[in-house]
């Protein structure tokens, strides 16, 4: 029973690093198969899955897609889709900070 409780229990995502490693500009927010996907441009830095986005809340980046293909990272000026674990209250044209996990 404890395993099921842990599986269904939502844990709060926290940020431990003090300095952001990048910035991301939101262009569009989608909900695909129950996952929030944020499409936009990397303004600075390099983004990897496992990093966290901070706007009005915090969410973990599960996957990065570029041109509808899964990629291992996103570089500055790349236009990508970030598949998130959890949801983030964001709108178009917002700039989010990216933190290491």
CATH superfamily of the domain spanning 13-99? Translation factors (2.40.30.10)
Q: Give me the pLDDT at residue 1, please.
A: 46
Contacts of 72 (CB under 8 A, 6+ apart): 48, 49, 64
CA torsion sign for 7, 13, 17, 19 is positive
Contact 30, 64 (CB under 8 A): no
> pTM here?
0.81
The tens digit of pLDDT for each residue in 43-93 reads 999 999 999 999 888 999 999 999 999 999 999 999 999 999 988 989 889
Per-residue confidence (pLDDT) for residue 49, from 0 to 100: 97
Domain boundaries, the chain: 13-99
Q: Tell me the pLDDT tens digit for each residue of 12-55.
A: 555 566 789 999 999 999 999 999 999 999 999 999 999 999 98
Tell me the C-alpha distance between 49 and 62, whole Å.
5
């Amino acid at each position: 029973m404890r395993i099921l409780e842990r599986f269904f229990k939502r844990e709060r995502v926290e940020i431990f690093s003090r300095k952001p490693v990048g910035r991301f500009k939101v262009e569009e927010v989608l909900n695909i198969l129950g996952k929030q996907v944020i499409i936009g441009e990397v303004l600075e830095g390099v983004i990897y899955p496992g990093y966290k986005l901070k706007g009005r809340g915090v969410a973990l980046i599960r996957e990065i897609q570029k041109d509808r293909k899964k990629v291992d990272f996103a570089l500055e000026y790349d236009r990508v889709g970030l598949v998130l674990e959890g949801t983030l209250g964001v709108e178009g044209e917002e700039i989010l900070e990216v933190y290491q996990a």
